[in-house]
Amino acid sequence: MKALIVTAHGSRRNESNEEVRRLAVRLHDKAGPAFDIVSCAFLEIAEPEIKSTISDLVAQGVKKIRIFPYFLAAGTHVVTDIPNLIAEAEKAHPEVDFKILPHLGSLQGMSTLILNQIYKGKPLNPSLASLATD
């Protein structure tokens, strides 16, 4: 089985954490055969934390886990904290194939997505018209 973990910071504001949870549900609904499970995890403040999410997935028999850092910039959490947590997970679960994906802000197409939202219905060029968004 394959799983995707949308990893966010975590917030004292519950609505922010719920937003990440809803994103994970939408991704699961659209993932098709790419992922059997899509879940979310938080680095601090909110539950579930990434370690417990990984443990739960391994207990369910997941053998491939992809971690998507839901961060706009490559700050300390993206560059240091998440890789350190995944290195620990790899030691604890050597039978699982872990991979950290590029963080949100580094994704190709981010500028197109932003412009599409700004000029919704009036794309700057024809290629933006075909960009599907939630």
Q: What is the tens place of the pLDDT at every residue in 75-119?
A: 999 999 999 999 999 999 999 999 999 999 999 888 888 888 887
Provide the pLDDT for residue 16: 95
Please report, for the domain that includes residue 56, its CATH number: 3.40.50.1400
Provide the pLDDT for residue 39: 97
Which helix (H) or strand (E) segment holds residue 98: the answer is strand 97-100
- Whether residue 60 sits in one domain with residue 23: yes
Count of domains forming the chain: 2
Find out whether 3 and 39 touch, Cβ atoms under 8 Å: yes
Q: Tell me the mean pLDDT in the region 42-51.
A: 96
Distance CA 14, CA 108 (A): 30
Question: Which residue numbers are catalytic?
Answer: 9
DSSP 4-35: EEEEE---SSHHHHHHHHHHHHHHHHH-GGG-
Domain that holds residue 125: 108-134
- Whether residue 113 sits in one domain with residue 82: no
